[in-house]
Amino acid sequence: MNIGIIDMISKGILAEKILRKINGGDYPTSNKVDIRDVYLEMEACRNYLIQKYLIQSGDEISSEFISVFEEVPVLKNTNRDRLYAQLPAQLVSLNIKGASGSHIGLRQVSGVKDEYNVFLPMNSGDAGVHYGLESSNLIGGIGYWLENDKIIFENMPAYYEGKNVMVKMISAIQGLGEDDFVPVPAAVETELEDMIFERMIGMKAVPEKKITDNNPNTP
C-alpha cells in the first residue's frame, strides 16, 4: 500500500496523545478508557470530518484522506464469466446530496501504469434494466460497480486477468496497524484530535471511593 502522504501521524501515536491529554499529560497505566475505545472514536470522528468536507465542497476531497493501493489483482468469477477485484481495505460509506453509498468512498479505479485513463463507475442496477444503455455509454472504456466487498468490471479485456489495477479509496481506520499513518490532512489533524478528546472526556475513569471501615458513609 502506498498512501503517498508525508508529515502525518500514526494511528498508535494519535491514540497515545489523546490518552495522555485525557489523563492530564500522563500515559494511563490503569484507566477505564481503553485504547480500543480511542480507535473507535477516531474512526467515527474522521468519518464525520470527511462527510463534512464532502458536503462543503460538493464531492471534492483532499487527496490526503485517500489511500492508494497500487497492486490489486484482477480475478475471474468463472460462474459469472466476469472479471472482478477484491476491495483491498474496508471502504467508508458516505453520503452527500445527489449521491450516496460506497461509490463516493471509492474515488478511482485504473490501470497501474495508466492511472489517468480511469475506469468509469456504473450503478449496480445498471447491470439490470439500464444495463444496455450504461454499457453503451462506456464507448470502449472499462466500467465498474461495487458489489459488497468486490469491484465488478464491465467491458474489461480478458488480458487483465491476473494483472493488477490501482484503487484509490477512502478506507476505514480500523484496518490500519498501530504504525500506519492515519489518512487525514495535517491541517485537519488538530481538529480530529480535539473532536476525539471531547467525545471521550466523559469516559475518563472516576476514582473509586475507598471504604476504610464497615460504614459505607465514611468519606
- Per-residue pLDDT reduced to its tens digit, 54-86: 888 777 788 889 999 999 999 999 999 999 999
Q: What is the pTM of this model?
A: 0.77
One-character DSSP codes across 13-69 = HHHHHHHHHHTTTSPPSS-S--HHHHHHHHHHHHHHHHHHHHHHHTS---GGG-EEE
Q: What is the mean pLDDT of the chain?
A: 80
Distances (CA, A) of 29 to 16, 33, 35, 130: 12, 10, 11, 59
C-alpha cell recorded at residue 190: 488538530
**What is the pLDDT, as a whole number, of residue 28?**
53
Whether the per-residue pLDDT at 7 is higher than 90: the answer is no
**What is the pLDDT, as a whole number, of residue 209?**
41
Q: What is residue 153's three-state secondary structure?
A: strand
**What is the pLDDT, as a whole number, of residue 29?**
52
CA 164 to chain centre: 21
Residue-wise pLDDT tens digits, 118-155: 999 887 655 554 455 455 567 778 999 999 999 999 99
Nearest to 103 by CA among 119, 115, 117: 119
pLDDT more than 70, % of the chain: 74
